[in-house]
Amino acid sequence: MQHLRSFAALAAALLFVASPLAAQDNWGRGGVEVNVSYGVLNGIGNEYVDLDPVAFEVDNNHYFAGRLGYVLNAGLGIEGFFGYNPAASLLTSGQGSSPEVSVMNYGGDLVWNFQPESAFQIFIMAGGGQQQLDVDPVTAGDPASESWFAWNYGAGVKMFVSRALAIRVDWRNYIAPTGPEATRAFFNPAVVDPLEDEGLSTTEFTAGLSLFVGGPADEDGDGVADTDDLCPGTPSGAAVDSDGCQFDDDGDGVVNEMDNCPDTPAGAAVDANGCPTDGDGDGVFDGIDQCDDTPAGAVVDATGCPTDADGDGVFDGIDQCDDTPSGAIVDSTGCPADSDGDGVLDGIDRCPGTPAGREVDAEGCGEFEAALAEGRLVLSGVQFEFNSADIREESQAVLDRAATAIRSAIANRPGISIEVGGHTDSVGSSGYNQSLSERRAASVRDYVVSVEPSIADALTTRGYGEDQPIADNGTTEGQAQNRRVEFVVSGDD
């Protein structure tokens, strides 16, 4: 009982000292280890001496152990051990209780600690030392003490309650080639021949507390020594990796403990809370968004760039007319306009400004507009008074249309010039026909200018007489075709 009280006092003293020291978490799980433990020791006697005429064994009793070692950063350690089983009974077969005995184990081990920076460590050890049996003699001649060499090996666990204080549990097996030979001989005096050699196997189970002093510093207490810590100053309680850095599972630069959006896709820009931002509100995160100023409402692709399916320059989602034909001019809503109302959209219409009701082709041009767009308008039906340059009333309508077409052509192509050319058939002399063609060309110019004054500066005149027939002057039909007025476009190429 006295030994038990002594051990309890020792353990209490260690806890008293360890409590303030254990708060120094920056000491680390290494350096000098001081351990006190309590347990049982089995195997002295019993099977070891079963073949002796008088066998004996040590009654299992309180076993107190202590260890002093040094743990290196890499996990390798050395330690000395001492174990003491006090005031046990030595039980002999057929003789009842015998003297009280005490058993001691002492020696040294090499220790390997797995995961030395972990809060839960498994370790193994192996070494050697002495075992000693001390007998309290009750009769003269009892053996007083004897010892023998023993190898040992074992394993255990350390469970750290702080970086400097751990609960330690050990299992250790001692293997001795010989054992307490003198004690065996004492209990078997009638045996003349030497007793048969027996190997001794002893098992020890203990649990206790270990205090670590002088291990590697860990100022932020994250479990990674300062010398290995790539992220010093980690907040208390934060989980860290083997480099002492807090985990950031989604790789967004905000550690898990502070990340309110833990599944951020790779490449996305995030705020201080680890949540991705979307500056233009298009649904594609900044950092992934390659078009970061997308207007509100626009449909975007996976890269955050707006789409324009009909290619009209107005983004899908904003475009209210999403099947606009190519080339058409559209308004801000993506819908095409038809300024002259001819059914051909602006941008496609080669002849904008077509008068209302005028029949046009697929390019928005009437017959005259189309001819001018091609560079030449030929009017063979213009009638003049006989032997005169005066225009007959029935020809005014066609010239009215020509004037409107010329105005439209000039408006669309401001740099052009238009020559009004007069042509005759071959009836009469060449000189007369030349003069007549010049006068008629001038008369036509004057008329169309009177209809559309804005075209005056773009018009010139020229008479060609009978020199450029387009049909056979030997027939009445051919002569009628050769009596014509042509509007020929030049410039603006």
Query: How confident is the model over 254-268, as a mean pLDDT?
Result: 89
pLDDT higher for 290 or 47? Answer: 290
SS3 430: helix
Looking at CATH, the fold of the domain delimited by 367-490 is given as 60s Ribosomal Protein L30; Chain: A; (3.30.1330)
Average pLDDT over residues 423-439: 92
Q: Which residues pair with 40 in a beta bridge?
A: 205
For residues 295 and 96, which has the higher predicted lDDT (pLDDT)?
295
Identify whether the C-beta of residue 433 lies closer than 8 Å to the C-beta of residue 466: yes
Return the closest-CA partner of residue 391 out of 453, 430, 435, 448. Answer: 448
Tens digits of residue pLDDT in 370-383 = 888 889 999 877 88
Q: What's the sign of the alpha-carbon dihedral 16, 17, 23, 29?
A: negative
Instruction: Report the pLDDT averaged over residues 301-328.
Output: 90
Rounded Cα distance, 29 and 71, in Å: 8
Res 420: pLDDT: 95
Please tell me the least confidently modeled range out of 63-77, 137-151, 156-170, 386-400. 137-151
Question: Measured between alpha carbons, how far is residue 368 from residues 125, 238, 318, 374, 482 in Å?
Answer: 109, 85, 39, 10, 19
472: CB partners within 8 A, 6+ apart: 478
Higher pLDDT, 126 or 379: 126
Find all residues with CB under 8 Å of 490, minimum gap 6, and list them.
375, 416, 417, 418, 419
User: Is the predicted pLDDT of residue 315 greater than 50, yes or no?
Assistant: yes
Note the pLDDT tens digit of each residue in 94-119.
Answer: 555 566 778 899 999 999 998 877 78
Q: Tell me, what's the pLDDT at 236?
A: 80
Q: Which residues 6+ apart lie within 8 Å of 139 measured at CB?
A: none
Domain 2-213 is found in CATH 1.10.260.40: no
Higher pLDDT, 309 or 387: 309
The confidence score (pLDDT) of residue 29 equals 64
Between 248 and 187, name the one with better pLDDT.
248
Judge whether residue 1 has pLDDT over 50: no
Burial of 405 (0-12, 13-18, 19+ CB in 10 A): buried
Please tell me the distance from the alpha carbon of residue 108 to that of residue 126, in angstroms, as a whole number: 8
100 vs 425, which has greater pLDDT? 425
User: Residue 7 has what pLDDT?
Assistant: 45
Burial class (CB in 10 A: 0-12, 13-18, 19+), 465: buried
Q: Is 37 exposed, middle or buried (0-12, 13-18, 19+ CB in 10 A)?
A: buried
Token pair of 163, please? 């970086």
Residue 184 CB neighbour total at 10 angstroms = 22
**Once rounded to an integer, what is the mean pLDDT over residues 282-288?**
92
Report domain extents, the chain. 2-213, 367-490
